[in-house]
Amino acid sequence: MYISKITTDYRKRGDVYELHQLLWKGFADGDNARERDFLFRAERLPRKQAVILVQSVSRPCWDGVFPPSGVAVKSYAPVFKNGQVFHFLIQVSASVAKSNGPGRQPTKKPLPWEAYTPWFRKRGKTDGFEVMAAEKVNDVFVSSRKKPKLRFAGRILTGMLRISESDAFLHAYQQGIGRGRAFGFGMLSLMGS
């Protein structure tokens, strides 16, 4: 796996649709049908700067996409074991889809804060982890200027988790957790406890 840290002008991060298209260019290999194998999260910095973290299964090539002075790429091979404990940070989508019946688009409704911990614990059961502690750090909003204009609400959660099923956890770590991964949600960042 690879982690890219890209420091850039915040205006490039401002439109989430354009940012996603820009990040795709780092994985352009001529295969337009290829599945997205990267996750990202953009964080605003002072003085109109942003840091974009990109986690990917394949090696990115940012030549011609971002200035080389603002890009750092590291390879790593995560090995997870049952019982390991990590501090985590994740930006998750703040909505839940409610079914409207067969053949109809689901309605997206905001998820109240008090529902996040139960939701994240439930995800942990299928994604191979147990939430030991979780708290909301901040609300985030991402948007697109394209028509139709898109606006997504999210929340940044931090806390501690314990791995309960390492294979399921690795899959969730690589694929992301929850909805809105194309819009900067779902990338799980970990630090040893």
User: In whole angstroms, what is the distance from residue 55 CA to residue 2 CA?
Assistant: 6
pLDDT at residue 152 greater than cutoff 80? no
pTM, two decimal places: 0.83
CB 66, CB 8: distance < 8 Å: yes
The pLDDT score that the predictor gives to residue 147 is 57
Amino acid type, 130 = E
Domains and CATH numbers, the chain: 2-75 (3.30.70.1200), 85-192 (3.30.70.1210)
- Identify whether the C-beta of residue 47 lies closer than 8 Å to the C-beta of residue 9: no
Q: Is the pLDDT of residue 129 over 70?
A: yes
* Helix spans in the chain (H): 10-13, 16-24, 116-127, 166-175
1-58 pLDDT, tens digit each: 999 999 987 665 567 778 888 898 998 765 555 677 899 998 877 777 889 999 999 9
- The neighbouring-strand residues paired with 153 are 141
Rg (CA), the chain: 17
Instruction: List the 2-9 sheet strands across, edge first.
Output: 38-45, 49-56, 2-9, 71-75
